[in-house]
Amino acid sequence: MSVKQVWVQTPHQGLFDVTASVIKVMQEENVVDGLCTVFVQHTSASLVIQENADPSAKRDLERWLNHLVPEHDSLYTHTLEGADDMPAHIKSALTASSLSIPIVNGQLGLGTWQGIYLWEHRKQGGERSILIHIGG
């Protein structure tokens, strides 16, 4: 069993495919059957498993969540860090901070069109840390 930290640069708001980084860590561990847990160490970013074939799916998800959780809502009182900060926390709460993916025959048990994405919810992005735990 091992936990590795991976840093992901997110230059802007949006979905960033981290599947290859997760696979690399999994392959280093040589686990045939087990479980891969991915955890993002931030409250304004999240993780999702989504379609990785058609980029329009990614764009639609990004637009939909921005529509669902708009900036400048009069309900927000947490505003000192910018207009996108409280919406980022809400988006993170609505999605996931961790994912569990089975490892089967040395491969991540993802479906044909599935990828693992770090979802940056802040407009300017930054450097994000994810922890990857491989157990087998």
pLDDT in tens, 111-133: 999 999 999 999 999 999 999 99
Within the chain, residue ranges assigned H as helices are 19-29, 55-68, 85-94
Q: Residue 1: pLDDT above 90?
A: no
pLDDT in tens, 64-108: 999 999 999 999 999 999 999 999 999 999 999 999 999 999 999
Nearest of 101, 120, 119, 121 to residue 110 by alpha carbon: 101
Nearest of 101, 108, 104 to residue 20 by alpha carbon: 108
Nearest of 41, 124, 129 to residue 85 by alpha carbon: 124
Q: Can you read off the two tokens belonging to residue 6? A: 């991976």
At residue 14, the pLDDT reads 97
CA–CA dist 28, 7 (Å, integer)? 17
- Is 50 within a domain? yes
Sorting pLDDT into bands at 50, 70 and 90, what band is 136?
Answer: confident
pLDDT mean over 60-65:
98
- Is 55 within a domain? yes
At residue 9, the pLDDT reads 98
Sorting pLDDT into bands at 50, 70 and 90, what band is 2?
Answer: confident
pLDDT in tens, 20-40: 999 999 999 999 999 999 999
Residue 76 structural domain: 37-127
- Is 72 within a domain? yes
Indicate the pTM of the whole model. Answer: 0.96
- Is 101 within a domain? yes
Number of CB atoms found within 10 A of residue 54's CB: 10
Nearest of 133, 135, 132 to residue 7 by alpha carbon: 132
- Is 136 within a domain? no
Supply the DSSP string of 87-116, one letter for each residue.
HHHHHHHHS-SEEEEEEETTEE---TTEEE
The CATH number covering residue 114 comes to: 2.60.120.460
Q: How many domains does the chain have?
A: 1
